[in-house]
Amino acid sequence: MRRVSIYELDPGMVVAQAIFNSEGRVLLHAGVQLNENYIHGLQKAGIVSVYIRDELFDESDAVNDIISEKIRLKAIKTLKQSFVLMEKQHQLNLHAVKNIVDEIIDEIMQNPNILVNLSDIRSFDDYTYAHSVNVGVLSIMSGINLNYKQSQLKELGIGALLHDIGKIKIDKNILNKPDDLSREEFNEVKRHAKAGFDILRQHSELSLLSAHIAFQHHERWDGQGYPRQLAGEGIHEYARIVAVADVYDALVADRPYRPAYSITQAISILKRMTGLFLDPQCVKAFLYNIAVYPLGSLLELNTGELGTVVDINRKTPAQPVVKVLYDRNWRMIDPYELDLSKISSLQVKSVLSEGQIKKLKML
């Protein structure tokens, strides 16, 4: 299974994972063979990339995600309803949000060894909700690595899911603007942090710390963030955790103005932001959960051989177990497995691009 940009889809390719719209309705089921009409329909629905099944490299179709598709969709729906309810009737369905956070924590706890393998596919119209759910899941995972108690995970999870609720107070035309914002427009967007805090702090059933996540998630470790230019440990740890998840998940998502960064690119950007934007400890706790080379990635090794990732070493995620399928001259060979964590001379040179994979198939 591999992720292919909408521009590189060809008729005949087979969908590996069901594609949903923002209502949670299936646009295309797993196993469907693409044709021109389907590809056009996906484009129109704002889908920018798709997981494709591939006979050649199909080692790992049963990739487990951290949370089930059912819980993910339920969470997206709950958040969407919360935002709409707050905007229209100034009510927060806190009960539903608390329930879904409990369910997410339960699922993550049941799968303690699963790494984040996939970045999900979202259409643009539900970006905020799907993104917020990911930020919630990723933040809870970081909290677990920091040995948080159940009550802390809940405070963190609720605040992370609702961190951007202040956006309902911001002009939609500015929020959805695909190109650069003027200074005034950016100042308007910045208001969402305080606006979110003002909404959440009115609810006494909610921990004030969850509300502070909304208030502080755009503060920077070096004190150059907004709205209050808090720095270092002056920023609550919950907000520092959410800041890391927020940045990372935005990087691995397709946006109207750019395609998604690859996981390796996103990790290196995150590392460059560490100590400036982000708390080093929180980045460390976060990265412990990320599979640098997700299962099924097609890699080139420093020997020139090509192979696909069949297993991930939890302690050394940059050194996965690779099934070698091609020799250095890109000739198909009898496959064999190499555990990169056990052979220090072997390294991953690069992740193969869609163009390279197509070339390989024509050989």
**Which residues of this chain interact with Fe ion, rule CB under 5 A?**
164
| Nearer to Fe ion (CB atom), residue 186 or residue 336 | 186
The C-alpha angle with vertex 338 and arms to 334 and 339, in degrees rounded to 5, equals: 160
Cβ closest to Fe ion, residue 164 vs residue 237: 164
- CB of 46: closest distance to Fe ion in angstroms? 21
Sign of CA dihedral 205, 211, 212, 217: positive
Q: How far is the CB of 155 from Fe ion (least distance, A)?
A: 18
Closer by beta carbon to Fe ion, 126 or else 164: 164
CB atoms within 10 A of CB 183: 7
Taking only Cα atoms into account, the Rg of the chain, rounded to an integer number of angstroms, comes to: 21
Task: Tell me the C-alpha distance between 97 and 102, whole Å.
Answer: 9
Least distance from Fe ion to the Cβ atom of residue 56, Å: 41
CB nearer Fe ion, residue 216 or residue 308: 216
Handedness of CA 335, 340, 342, 346 (dihedral sign): positive
Tokens of 243: 């800041």
The identity of residue 71, as a single letter, is: I
Q: Which CB sits closer to Fe ion, 60 or 82?
A: 82
Q: How far is the CB of 148 from Fe ion (least distance, A)?
A: 22
Closest residue (Cβ) to Fe ion?
Answer: 164
| Residue given tokens 């049963």 in the structure block | 62
Is the CB of 59 or the CB of 164 nearer to Fe ion?
Answer: 164
**Residues in the chain, overall count:** 363
Neighbours of 269 (CB within 10 A): 14
First to last CA, the chain: 20
CB 333, min distance to Fe ion, A: 49
Shortest Å, Cβ 194 to Fe ion = 11
CB of 192 to Fe ion, least distance (A): 6
Which strands make up the sheet holding 298-301, listed edge to edge? 332-339, 321-326, 306-311, 298-301, 348-351
- Residue 77 or 163: the one with the smaller Cβ distance to Fe ion is 163
